[in-house]
Structures are given as C-alpha cells and as structure tokens.
Amino acid sequence: MTREKMNPTIEKILANIEKVMIGKRDVAELSLVALLAEGHVLLEDVPGVGKTMMVRALAKSVNANFRRIQFTPDLLPSDVTGVSIYNPKKMEFEFRPGPLMGNIILADEINRTSPKTQSALLEGMEEASVTIDGVTHKLHKPFFVMATQNPIEYEGTYPLPEAQLDRFLLKMKMGYPDLQEEVEVLNRAQKIPPIEDLHPVIDLDELRVLQQEMKDVYVDDTIKRYIVEIVNRTRGHGSVYLGASPRGSIALMKAAQAYAYMYDRDYIVPDDIQYLAPFVLSHRIILKSEAKFEGTSAEKVINQIVARVPVPVQRLVK
C-alpha cells in the first residue's frame, strides 16, 4: 500500500530500531502496531534472523524493562510468573516476581515447553495479572509479549492450541535478509554491537499517552461492517474448518486503529484493513485437512476473502 506521512514520534522509534535492525522496517512497524494496541505478537521463524534483537531494540527505544524467558521442556509455571517463599524472620510468605513482571517480554521458543507453562504465560497476556497461591498480582503496564516458535522443529515441542493462538493480536515472520542487507549485518558485526549504544527516544509515560491517543482513532460504521464481513466469511469458506471468532473482529479493528495512528490519521481506511487482515486473522482459522493437503495456506484464504469482499465507498472521515 502507498506509504503516507508518519507520526513524528513513531518515526523516531522506528528510526532508532533501524540503527540495529537492517531491512526489517515492516516487522518493526507491525510490532509497534501490537504495542500501541496493547496486544501481543507471535513470531514464527527460524533461529538467527534477529528476533531477540528486534525486541531488545524496541524495549530500549521506549525505555522499557526488557525480560527474556527461554522456554524449555522442564520450565515450570512458577519459573514464569513467580513464587511465594516463606520468610522465617517475618513469619510470612513473600512474593518473588518472575520474569513475566516486566514491560516487554521475549518468550523464546514458546512451543518447547509444556501446555501448563504455556497457559501461565497466556493467562498473564489475557488478564494482565497472575494469581499465585490465591493472591492476584497485577502486571506492569505497558505489558507486551513477543513469543517466538521455530516452524521446522516438531520433535519435543508442544504446538499452541488454536484457543491460545487467538490470544495473539498478530502473527508474522521476519524472513531472511537479502544479499546486500546480510553484507551490512557482517559489517556491523565486526564492531561493537549497535544494540549496546542504543538510547531511548521516549519514556514509558509517553508510550502510555500514545496507547491512549490511539483509542481515539475514528472507526466509521462502514468500516466496522467491512471488518465483520471479512471475519464472517472465514466461517463459511470452503477451505476452512473453523473460522475466526468475534475476538478476531475486535483485534482487526484495534490493529487498524493503531496503524492509522502511526500514519498520523485519526480515521481508518479500507487499505488498513486489507493490509493487516492476514497478520491478524490467519492464525485464528483452522483449515480443513484436504485444503492443507492441496497446499492451501491460511494466509492465502484470508487474502482470497479480502479480495472478494466489496470495499466501502462511503465518506470515511469523521
């Protein structure tokens, strides 16, 4: 889609991330969409393409508390959320917070841990709190999770069920850099890693303001019907066993509000929906077995649906 003038604050954040990341502006933009919309991201890609670097650069750019959780088969829920430990001097239990008590969390290889531990993370993502020994502990705000999973390793993994995938606002891939970009990666690797010299361009209070202002982006009724029509058609598509839920409609609207805000607009246009739909909806549908056998992907199905739904033509500006 045609690039527009970007919100100056958002441009500063992206420019800062690009000091570290080469050729991944679209991934950085989508990550910011999720952060502004107070959602979470699932990155499915092979090791070594810069997933950790992306999240660290984002966290440093907004002066957020960054935590990394390496998911392994023996990881326990308390290793993620925290645990209550008895203090004999005070004769009471004290809560020791886990790595989930941060602002920006990298949940690395989430599909390598047990469903019980996955659920502990996903509960925190959904409720913005964790419950330990009957006591509820609120998570810090802003709270943003970027979870990664390796698409080529299946042995010893626990794939996320569809109900849990639905908790992620966006699912995307980073992909390999092209030849020129990879040469530049080598050039930078010869020196001190640029991530160490990265400085914040905004603070958490400013980020909270951006998150609040994003909610004021106007959504016309024609756009709402457009969103619902796209999501509704996932439920009747010939290749789809189970379509997207109303949560998918809400997620697409919120993502579009954040995207419009990033491009300094106070209203959503159909192009926003068309661009974001595959990232927001593809992981929310289940394809029929025969469709998978024929090589159909969820992304193809969403793109087909978007291409067939009539685009609103009414005036959209408030």
Assess contact for 91 and 129: CB atoms under 8 A. Answer: no
Proportion of the chain above pLDDT 70, given as a percent: 95
Least confident of 87-91, 146-150, 265-269, 288-292: 87-91
Which residues 6+ apart lie within 8 Å of 220 measured at CB?
A: 267, 268, 312, 314, 316, 318
In the structure encoding, which two tokens stand for residue 79, read together? 């290793």
| Between residues 314 and 163, the one the model is more confident about | 163
Residue ranges of the chain that CATH labels 1.10.8.80: 217-308
pLDDT in tens, 213-229: 999 999 999 999 999 99
pLDDT in tens, 52-74: 888 999 999 999 999 999 998 89
- pLDDT score recorded for residue 10: 95
Nearest one of 46, 47, 56 to 19, comparing CA atoms: 56
Assess contact for 211 and 142: CB atoms under 8 A. Answer: yes
How far is residue 130 from each of residues 66, 139, 300, measured CA to CA in Å? 18, 7, 37
Distance CA 167, CA 164 (A): 5
Residue ranges of the chain that CATH labels 3.40.50.300: 8-209
Q: Reduced to 3 states, what is the DSSP secondary structure of residue 147? A: strand
- Mean pLDDT, range 3-15, rounded to an integer: 89
Nearest one of 155, 163, 168, 176 to 45, comparing CA atoms: 176
Is the pLDDT score of 24 beyond 80? Answer: yes
Is the pLDDT score of 232 beyond 70? Answer: yes
**CATH of 217-308 given 3.40.50.300, 1.10.8.80, 3.30.70.1730, 1.20.58.740:** 1.10.8.80
- pLDDT score recorded for residue 130: 82
pLDDT in tens, 69-97: 999 889 998 888 888 787 788 777 777 88
How far is residue 185 from each of residues 21, 48, 60, 291, measured CA to CA in Å? 9, 12, 20, 39
In the structure encoding, which two tokens stand for residue 85, read together? 């430990």
Which residues 6+ apart lie within 8 Å of 249 measured at CB?
A: 227, 228, 231
- pLDDT score recorded for residue 316: 46
pLDDT in tens, 103-146: 999 999 888 888 888 888 888 888 888 877 777 888 888 999 99
Residue-averaged pLDDT of the chain = 87
This prediction's pTM: 0.89
CATH number for the domain whose boundaries are 8-209? 3.40.50.300
- pLDDT score recorded for residue 192: 63
Residues forming a β-bridge with 104? 66, 144
